[in-house]
Amino acid sequence: MRTAPAYAKINLSLEVLGRRLDGYHELVSVMQTVSLSDEITVQPNVAVQLSCSDPALEHRDNLVVRAAESLRAEWSVEDGCSVVLTKRIPAAAGLGGGSSDAATTLVLLNELWNLGASLSDLAVLAAQLGSDVPYFLVGGTAFIEGRGERVTPLPDGADQYFVLANPRVPLSTADVFRNVRSEEHGTGAATLEVRDQVLRSRIAPFGVNGLQDSAFRICPPAQRCFESLQARAPGSVILSGSGPTSVARVDGPDEATQLTRAMQADGYWATAAKSIGRGEMIV
Ligand code: C5P
């Protein structure tokens, strides 16, 4: 039996550069792993079987099952596995929960089945499962290019504290990308500046999020949540990925707890979170 946390991510900056011929969008981003996590346990079993704390996610289309089946097919594994998934990361929230679960499943099953697959072997399967999945094999702070699958690790910095909040409604990533207008495309300069700041000072400021206007058009409650967080947080606020979760940067754990409680009192889903460096990741 093997167990590991599957951490959420936030986007410190994200720019859509343009639409590609394959239907995806070319983007640049700086991603950061945070302490909010799901938990995954794998055990030997005859077939691939998932049990999940959220019954709505307990189906064959779950990325965890697809990750297990793709690894099994690629490496001609005859054994199965039972996977127990405890969800804490809200689904379809811009926090990469499903992608992180998939990446962690690949790593755990590589060990359980003794496959000896390298990180680059796993990255090929990861990219087939979803644009964000390869990032979660690396984690920490990273610079992201292409449709999301090209990942360059950046050095770990000092701990940073955040509050994550959303209006408790899911938002489809595909819908948000589809509704981005060409005038909302970026040059990438703001995101490159965030990357360079990490390299210079190990502390990343928030850049921009080129999906924000699209997300707010589709999901007005996401904008209200963002504004509510902004009104309360002394520092900067940014939408994470395709939303609807917004992220406020705070000075430390006490401030994070206070702001989290204030957002919860207004009915929002909210949690305090700390940056997780690559060195702290168990997987
Ligand atoms: O890759 P993934 O399946 O996670 O992406 C979900 C959807 O988001 C895609 O089907 C696509 O519509 C959109 N997307 C995009 N450009 C990206 C990543 C995702 O248009 N770089």
Cis peptide before 234 (omega within 30 of 0): no
Atom of ligand 1 nearest to the CA of 177: 20
Q: Which of the four pLDDT bands, split at 50, 70 and 90, describes residue 281?
A: confident
Compute the distance from residue 173 Cα to the ligand 1 centre, in Å.
7
Spot the catalytic one: 61, 79, 101, 132.
132
pLDDT in the model for residue 283: 57
Which residue's C-alpha comes closest to atom 10 of ligand 1? 174
| 132 catalytically annotated | yes
pLDDT in the model for residue 282: 60
Which residue's C-alpha comes closest to atom 9 of ligand 1? 174
Ligand 1 lined by 173 (C-beta under 6 Å): yes
Residue 33: enclosing H or E segment and its boundaries? strand 25-45
Read off the pLDDT of residues 2-30 as tens digits, 9 standing for 90 and up: 999 999 999 999 999 999 999 999 999 99
Read off the pLDDT of residues 101-137 as tens digits, 9 standing for 90 and up: 999 999 999 999 999 999 999 999 999 999 999 999 9
Ligand 1 lined by 24 (C-beta under 6 Å): yes
Compute the distance from residue 225 Cα to the ligand 1 centre, in Å.
24
Read off the pLDDT of residues 266-275 as tens digits, 9 standing for 90 and up: 999 999 999 9
Which residue's C-alpha comes closest to atom 8 of ligand 1? 174
Residue 141: enclosing H or E segment and its boundaries? strand 141-145
Contacts of 173 (CB under 8 A, 6+ apart): 92, 94, 241, 242
Q: Are 132 and 9 in contact (CB under 8 A)?
A: yes
Read off the pLDDT of residues 212-244 as tens digits, 9 standing for 90 and up: 999 999 999 999 999 999 999 977 999 999 999
pLDDT in the model for residue 183: 98
Beta bridge mates, 40 = 4, 85
Ligand 1 lined by 131 (C-beta under 6 Å): yes
Which residue's C-alpha comes closest to atom 7 of ligand 1? 174
C-alpha closest to that of 104 among 82, 61, 137: 137
Q: How far apart are CA 281 and CA 283, in angstroms?
A: 6
17 φ, ψ (degrees, to nearest 5): -90, -30
| 54 catalytically annotated | no
Compute the distance from residue 152 Cα to the ligand 1 centre, in Å.
19
C-alpha closest to that of 33 among 97, 90, 110: 97
Handedness of CA 212, 215, 217, 222 (dihedral sign): negative
